[in-house]
Amino acid sequence: MEIAELEKRAKKIRFDIVRMLCKAGSGHPGGSLSAVELMTALYFDQLKHNPKKPDWEDRDRVIFSKGHACPVLYASLAESGYFPVEELMTLRQLGSRLQGHPGKDKGLPGIEISSGSLGQGLSVGIGLSLGFRLSNNSARVYVIMGDGECDEGQIWEAAMSAGHYKLDNICGVVDYNRLQIDGATEEVMGLEPFAKKWQDFRWEVIEIDGHNLKEVINAYRKAKEIKGKPTVIIAHTIKGKGVSFMENQASWHGDVPKGEKAEVCLNELGKCLEDLNGEG
């Protein structure tokens, strides 16, 4: 897909995220907005998938490990056609398939596994990757992680095993927005030297600007060509990207704009959409 067209999708997804969170009245905007381009590039350009056949055996798998940021996952799935966009407005409501954190048992098409207890997705991805290798399935596995969740020991157990098994059908993606609930990642629990950690665990590392769609797509393409070891894309991003008062503010990790503030951000994002549509 053309970059201009992808940008349009990204804007729409951002708008969906804020709209559904404002409606829900709770949730996690910061880490949803920082991952928009990472998810847009996957669902609209890179993934081998068919929204009409969500159970297709040979599809690429997206394991969304940073489960709290599921609004970006739900919006990406809905905009891809997995389910009606209007269903996004049921987020976090009683009986909804759009749980506060993804629940596989609720039957929402495109949800591969329940997640939300941080640090678990990479292991699931590694299991898929080993399983595909065993059955000669050429599907790829993408694991979307937060930076804060890399505090979890399980991430590094998983990283070690992917390096050990030389898994090259798995691509880790870290949304490195440098903020977690209690503040800056470096202050809460220093991750640096972050790239070196992954390299030391035998991973290929690609560092990019996670909001530059061209860079994001090139990174996914390059990862496909790396053989004999796993690849992680460390995407430098801005938490709350796209909403002026949310950008780089840890306080918007798990808080949702209400009243006037909600109108401000919907207007900001809505205007971006109109501008784009006007151009189109």
Partner 1 sequence: MEKDKSKWKETRAGYGEGLVILGERNPKIVVLSADLTKSTHANLFKEKFPDRFFQFGIAEQNMMGAAAGMSLAGCIPFVSTYAVFATGRCFDQLRVSVCYSNCNVKIEGAHSGLLVGPDGATHQSLEDIALTRVLPNLTVIEPCDVIEARKATLSSAEIYGPVYIRLVREKTAIVTAEDSPFTIGKANVLRNGKDVTVIACGPEVAEALLAAEEAEKEGIKVGVVNLHTIKPLDEETIVKVAKETGAIVTTEIHQVACGMGSAVAEILSRTYPVPIEMIGVKDRFGESGQPYELLEKFGLTSTSILNAIKRVLKRKT
Read off the amino acid at residue 148. G
Stretch that binds partner 1, among 40-48, 156-164, 212-220, 250-258 (CB under 8 A): 156-164
Q: Which is nearer to partner 1, 37 or 149 (CB)?
A: 149
Residue 120 interacting with partner 1 (CB under 8 A)? yes
Residue of 78, 128, 243, 269 that binds partner 1 (CB under 8 A): 128
* Bridge partners (DSSP) listed for residue 236: 176, 209
The Cα–Cα gap between 223 and 245 comes to: 34
Least Å distance, CB 80 to partner 1, is: 20
What residues between 166 and 225 interact with partner 1 by CB under 8 A?
none
**CA end-to-end distance (rounded Å), the chain:** 15
Residue of 52, 86, 94, 105 that binds partner 1 (CB under 8 A): 105
* Bridge partners (DSSP) listed for residue 176: 236
Find the Cα–Cα–Cα–Cα dihedral 189, 191, 197, 201, rounded to 10°.
Answer: 50
- Residue whose C-alpha is closest to residue 33's, from 214, 278, 272, 206: 272
The Cα–Cα gap between 148 and 66 comes to: 9
Least Å distance, CB 211 to partner 1, is: 29
Q: Which is nearer to partner 1, 57 or 192 (CB)?
A: 57
The residues that touch partner 1, with contacts defined as CB under 8 A, are 57, 61, 63, 103-105, 112-117, 120-132, 134-135, 137, 153-154, 157-158, 160-161, 164
